[in-house]
Structure 1
Amino acid sequence: MQALEQFFGVIGDLTWGWSLVPILVIFGTFITVATGFVQFEFFGRMFRVLTRGRTESGKISAREALLVSVGGRVGGGNIAGVAVAITLGGPGAVFWMWAIALVGMATSLVECSLAQLFKRADPLTGQYRGGPARAILHGLGENYRWLAVIYAICLIAAFALGFNAFQGNTVAGAAEASLGIDRMWSAIFLAVMTGFIVFGGIRRIAKASEVVVPVMAVGYLLMALVVILTNLGEIPSVLSSIVANAFGFEEAVSGGMGAALAQGLRRGLFSNEAGLGSAPNVAATAEVNHPISQGITQAFSVFIDTIIICSCTAFVILLSDVYVPGATDIDGIALTQTAMVSHLGEWTQYFMTFAILLFAFSSVIYNYYLGENAITVLTKTPVATIVLKIVVVGIVFVGAVAPNATSVFFFSDPLMGVLALVNLLVLMMLFPIALRVLQDFRKQLKAGVARPVLRLEDFPDLDLDPRAWPNRD
């Protein structure tokens, strides 16, 4: 076991420690420039998805796909991760989280547009499946199947198994600490709810997200807004502190600007998942007229995750009197809970426990779907999907009931690093195709088409599925 831990530790050092963050930042900046700052060009269009309901065909709508992906992106990183970043990197970490989110919006737009482009219609259900693995198979060809297999295995191990155990552990720990609920009861509740959702397929996952995500996001935002409004006079000084610490004019922690930059970039990337290759699996499920439409929607998901929700957590912490820069024994969730209590009173710890429950549950069902989508790349046997459902329910239960159970999932972060590197390699290889599709979208808008449509005859050289792109003229 120790040898395995050391092996995965080396992988983690080679990905997250040395290569991954710089590549994500550099390539994200390149995509932003090469696409002509596409995230700003289409920023206004992002909000249109909020007014669009379900599709007439019964397939997943753009809004439902958005809510599933927001439910997955928004989780412990928005509550605990932001607190850790601020504590270890100072207020300046928030600025760099914003910066990487703006860059990540372009990366997410491209990766999710490619996932949409190469999606496939399931012959049994008619629902769509896609993501980086299928982009590899149908964009790069069968010669790269080995790369798709590596991606799929990493996705299952990191998200469906490892991260789901951590989510269960987070909920049970918060319920035990603030409400005194025994871990066993939390474990049973989570396992039952998870089983009910995942055995219902992507439609039930989408319906659950349509309820859970707005409740958790709006509830949390309203609480944070109350804190901000009651401390409105201090906002200018907090903003000033964020900028000053970000550029080294003030030093809140040892390491100064370097610590702020490192923590902000790392936590921002971990939270919004732009470029990591996870969200495209959900983006591909939506029925849209053009791949870029869903790419724009998923860029909006990054904006919601980091610019809105992470910022709310940051302001709650920085406006409180409990924040201690550079603390080494920080518990991120505890800091955010304590900060909220200091603003609004003891009752908010119960609200925070409820918020953590919703955040974690939405992440569990999102993580499960990523695993399900990946396993269909490895095998067409329906039994494999059923086995995965049972395993995920068991993993959530074990993660919740045993405080130290999550230590056996030491491979999760390193394998997510491998996953991200594979995804970035694929993005680099398919980026010229993404630019062609983006140019087609812009051309139709310029010609006065309000809602551009992908026409397969315009891309005869690409391996696209006609069942996934019926004529919508």
Structure 2
Amino acid sequence: LVIGIIIAVLTFLIIIKGIKEISLITLFLTPLMTISYIILGLIVVINNIEIIPNIILNIIKEGLNLNCLFNSFIPILIIGIERGIFSNEAGIGAAAIAVASSKSNNAKQQGYGQIFGTYFISLIICTITAIIILTTNYGNLIINNINGIEIANYAFNYHFGQHGEYILILITLVFSFSTIIACYYYGESSLKYICWNISTWWIILLKIITIMLVIYGAIANSLFLWNIVDIFVGLLGLINIYAINKLNHKIKKDY
């Protein structure tokens, strides 16, 4: 609860200043933490360089294993789609709001940049996380009733000793905080777009709801929150697919 209140206060101090301040904060925080995470991943790779080829081969081999394919294809596919979309926002149209605010007269360049962002997050960042976990003695973990962040915490402690837990907390905190700020920006931008002459009071109400949800998110059950996120991300995807389909002919004509 205390952490939730602290994050809520910091979020309030940023969003109360307006969209310009929000963009500056996320512009600074996200690249900083991304670079830091890549450096940590490279340290793990260098320290375990002799087993990295076997790990990559095992990933490919198990991915093409027919027994795994038929026994758990659908559940793993669902989890992969849910977490993949959540991590890179591909197909839900949210990141397009941020891209649209950039100063560029070429929509194609913006689109290519966004495509690269999806590739970078999915292939580079997620692969780094996998390598950090797979280079530990993760076989000692009892996987039942353990979530992803606990596995990552174990891996960071394994590689970086007693400081690993605090490194992961800092990285997770900054990534989460920048995500909260960015999602608020998406919400405010969408509200202003849908309601052209929206009253300032509605924006204030949105800010209050955001702060309350931040505090609630800190104390709520994580499984419940993930289920809510999956539902709303799915709804965003459906809306975005419909919008893309409606714009299909115009996009083909222009580009």
> What amino acid sits opposite 1:208 in the alignment?
I
Aligned residue among 108, 112, 118 for 1:302: 118
Aligned residue among 18, 29, 40 for 1:212: 29
Q: Does the residue aligned with 1:304 lie in a helix, a strand or coil? A: helix
CA displacement at 1:378 relative to structure 2? 4.0
The alignment yields a C-alpha RMSD, in angstroms, of: 2.5
* Aligned twin of 1:340: 156
In 2, distance between residues paired with 1:324 and 1:431?
51
CA displacement at 1:213 relative to structure 2? 1.0
Q: Does the residue aligned with 2:162 lie in a helix, a strand or coil? A: coil
Q: Does the residue aligned with 1:330 lie in a helix, a strand or coil? A: coil
* Aligned twin of 1:435: 252
* Aligned twin of 1:198: 15
Alignment deviations for residues 25-48 of structure 1 (CA, whole Å, 9 cap, x no partner): xxxxxxxxxxxxxxxxxxxxxxxx
Q: 1:333 to 1:408 in 2, by over 3 A?
A: closer
* Aligned twin of 1:327: 143
- Structure showing greater radius of gyration is 1
Q: 1:249 to 1:238 in 2, by over 3 A?
A: farther
> What amino acid sits opposite 1:209 in the alignment?
T
Aligned-pair identity in percent equals 28
Unaligned runs of 5+ in 1: 1-182, 439-473
CA displacement at 1:392 relative to structure 2? 0.9
> What amino acid sits opposite 2:131 in the alignment?
F
Q: Normalising by structure 2, report the TM-score.
A: 0.89
Contact 2:158 2:164 in 1 (8 A): no
Contact 1:227 1:316 in 2 (8 A): yes
Q: 1:303 to 1:261 in 2, by over 3 A?
A: same
In 2, distance between residues paired with 1:304 and 1:229?
20
1:357 aligns with 2:173: yes
Alignment deviations for residues 123-159 of structure 1 (CA, whole Å, 9 cap, x no partner): xxxxxxxxxxxxxxxxxxxxxxxxxxxxxxxxxxxxx
Aligned residue among 390, 394, 397 for 2:208: 390
In 1, distance between residues paired with 2:223 and 2:155?
27
> What amino acid sits opposite 1:298 in the alignment?
Q
CA displacement at 1:208 relative to structure 2? 0.5
Aligned residue among 255, 260, 265 for 2:71: 255
In 2, distance between residues paired with 1:249 and 1:315?
23
Q: 1:406 to 1:364 in 2, by over 3 A?
A: farther
Q: 1:306 to 1:411 in 2, by over 3 A?
A: closer
> What amino acid sits opposite 1:390 in the alignment?
I
Unaligned runs of 5+ in 2: none
> What amino acid sits opposite 2:84 in the alignment?
G
CA displacement at 1:399 relative to structure 2? 2.4
Q: Does the residue aligned with 1:276 lie in a helix, a strand or coil? A: coil
> What amino acid sits opposite 1:319 in the alignment?
T
In 1, distance between residues paired with 2:11 and 2:130?
30
Q: 1:411 to 1:342 in 2, by over 3 A?
A: closer
Q: Does the residue aligned with 1:346 lie in a helix, a strand or coil? A: helix
* Aligned twin of 1:67: none
* Aligned twin of 1:225: 42
Identify the structure with the greater helix proportion: 2
* Aligned twin of 1:426: 243
Q: Does the residue aligned with 1:232 lie in a helix, a strand or coil? A: coil
In 1, distance between residues paired with 2:229 and 2:48?
39
Alignment deviations for residues 308-353 of structure 1 (CA, whole Å, 9 cap, x no partner): 1111101111111125799331211010110121122121111111
Contact 1:282 1:370 in 2 (8 A): yes
Q: 1:325 to 1:262 in 2, by over 3 A?
A: farther
Contact 1:398 1:405 in 2 (8 A): no
Q: Normalising by structure 1, report the TM-score.
A: 0.50
1:28-107 correspondence to structure 2 within 5 Å = none
Q: 1:311 to 1:368 in 2, by over 3 A?
A: same
* Aligned twin of 1:281: 97
Contact 1:275 1:423 in 2 (8 A): yes
Aligned residue among 58, 62, 85 for 1:269: 85
Contact 1:227 1:344 in 2 (8 A): no
